[in-house]
Structure 1
Amino acid sequence: MKYRKISILLLYIIVMMNMSAKAEEVTCQDQELSNVQILMGNPVSPAPYLPGHVLVFKCTDVNMKMYGHRAIECQSNGKWDYPYPKCLEVTCQDQELSNVQILMGNPVSPAPYLPGHVLVFKCTDVNMKMYGHRTIECQSNGKWDYPYPKCLETACVANLANLITEGCPHPGVVYMPGDRLKVSCVQGLTLQGPDVITCQQDGQWSSPFPSCVVVTTCEPPSSMSHLNADKIQILDLIKTEYKTGEKVEYRCFNTYIMEGNPFLICQEGTWKEQFKCIPPCLASVKEMDQRNIQLQRGGRERMYCPHKDLITFMCQGKTQQKPNSVHFRQVCLYGQMTLPECE
């Protein structure tokens, strides 16, 4: 009798556990179908769907476009990994009209437009100029083959490839009459044409529009201030033209020290330097007298010291070095040297 009661109790617990498990079973529910049909499931079964169930969709009309995911899966939390997709008719949308009106459609109809629909435009003012395509067509992907055109006052068009512009009030590729454009080329290219042009009232530039080209030869090298060119003499004979890779050798005057290789090299129309001429340090007798100093060797005479050389000073007469003065022994670096002081 005792064992029978225990068996009945165990059976009751098992039944309740099964009922609880069924009550808590996780499933994914159907969602609204919008021009969509279920192509197949995995496995094929009606809703609700158990976790792991996959649905594959297709549009009810082959001319429609699906927005969303074609295949979705029921997750362990009872949610689909993506919502049901929707299928909509493929159309092209209106774009903003800028001084433009639609002259005719093919056929005439309001937006949105179906694939194959053609629009023809004209400017709202006969004195304006159209930029873009006068005729455009709606494509099967819902995009126009070209954007809507724009009509502007008579303007000049600029091809800015490889050009750097400055000083113009209307940056872009279309410029108004009176706009003044100053141009230069990106590094490595040479400007062909004027560097300053103006847009005229007839929509033409004051000169043919400049362009940037690759130049492989160099003109004879000119003086270069950053190389102390006024202190350099050319050793090679001057030619009228130099090819890429050709060199011109330089030598600094004897008061300058050369740093680097003594060459300029022609590289695609531009001279590239490999050296600098570094000036010496100089100090006049007047400058040294103002500080009551003189050269330890040479006395009261003008000082000249090449780059990286050391020179030693001393006080004049019975004067003493100032407490905050620099050391008497100094080195010349790139034409600069700090002078000591005595009192």
Structure 2
Amino acid sequence: MVRLSLENRSLRMEKPGPVTYPNGATLKYSCNAGFMLRGPSEITCNMEKWTSPPACIDATCGDPPAVANAEIIDHRDRRYWPAERVQCQCHEGFESHGPNDVTCINKEWSQPPTCEDMMCGPPPALTNGQILGYRNQKYLPGERVRYRCQQGLSLIGSQTVTCQKKKWSESPECREAGGKCGPPPRIDNGDIVSFPLKQYVLNSTVDYKCKSLHILEGPQSVRCDSGQWTDPPVCLEPCTITPEDMERNKIQLRRPYEKKFYVLSGVFVQFVCRWGYKLDPTSSGLRVQCLEGSLVYPKCKHRNK
């Protein structure tokens, strides 16, 4: 018979037994939370001696890996438990490739995502035309610029080009038209209500309509004026509120029975912090406005931090 002595406090027997054990008895060990076994999980009583016990080594992780052009959401200066996850969020204008979180696995973090730059450079120049407004060196995905032709020329194609994943959409042309206009300008998230013609006479008008949940801003129609169309309207995008974004920021709608996952541009949305959380001092207020498809979520943090 042999007596068992357990000195490593990170080890624990799964089924503690008697004080002494007969030859051939086996015991199984497991580690406390935050530790992992190194060596066999069982020991055996052999000739009144126990075989060598396993060791428990620290399996927690330190700070999550830094990701270029991204930030760690809800990062706290502490050790992280095995299997614990931390979310990464790419900066505006960058697109994530790979999982949007990293996981603590055996003292190491899993492979983080990469954030690819999706912004566009300066828009293409237009022969016999010009870009309206200030020209930037960098444009975010979805940003638009508008063109206008020299007097007496017609703009053929869309008056605007859009930044789409590092590339600009097809640019228009300026052509001789003798006062007539080509097809009316295309707009994002909208279209004309009539069948398009190849050519329109002076003072012709065309009406526009927007897609569902989009709001038309500006004049509803355009007019052919000396070979060029007047400025078209803009269809303002709604905002999409997702459960994932609310969970990430520890917030919920003020009236949780509402399923307001689409919000029209210009409309205010009221959030509240989830139970056990309070508004982060660095965050905006809990009442935010949808502006052309963009909504800045408020952020709440744990009350004990």
Asked if these proteins are the same fold (TM beyond 0.5), I'd say no
Whichever structure has more strand as a proportion of its residues is 2
TM-score of Structure 1 vs Structure 2, range by shorter chain: 0.3 to 0.5
**CA radius of gyration, larger in:** 1
With normalisation by structure 1, the TM-score equals 0.36
Whichever structure has more helix as a proportion of its residues is 1
With normalisation by structure 2, the TM-score equals 0.40
